[in-house]
Copies of this chain bind each other. A is one copy, B any other.
């Protein structure tokens, strides 16, 4: 399947549709059924001790799945999360960006299913892993 939106198109779309988070995340790479997204870690994402907060990691996983889905189906803003199961496995490294690697496992007419691995940049062991389902609006 061809990609309908590349990283630049996705970043432009997010900036227009979700301006309030445009400074937090950046789509880095898009390929068929895959997308990488960066959390531009800043003070507001941290918990005491310098750890990235759980809700921020959830947001990274959720946005990664959103990005890879829109990459394949085009700019349908009303595509919404129906389910997310996330395992938190390790503490994120303090003061580093995080990278989410999203892949679509199924792209149906009604549902998209995928998973996202979350890493502290430069580390091999994943910090968290999420499986997500999105509901795709009908045209």
* A interface, CB within 8 angstroms of B: 17-18, 20, 44, 47-48, 53-56, 58-59, 62, 80-90, 105-106, 110-111, 113, 115, 125-126, 129, 131, 133, 135
Interfacial chain B residues near A84, Cβ < 8 Å: 54, 58, 84-86
Q: Quick check: A54 and B83 within 8 Å, CB to CB?
A: no
- Which of B53, B83, B126, B129 makes the CB contact (< 8 A) with A88? B83
- Which of B48, B58, B80, B131 makes the CB contact (< 8 A) with A55? B58
Q: Quick check: A111 and B129 within 8 Å, CB to CB?
A: no
Q: Quick check: B86 and A83 within 8 Å, CB to CB?
A: yes
Interfacial chain B residues near A80, Cβ < 8 Å: 88
Chain B: which residue is nearest A90 at the CB level?
A: B106
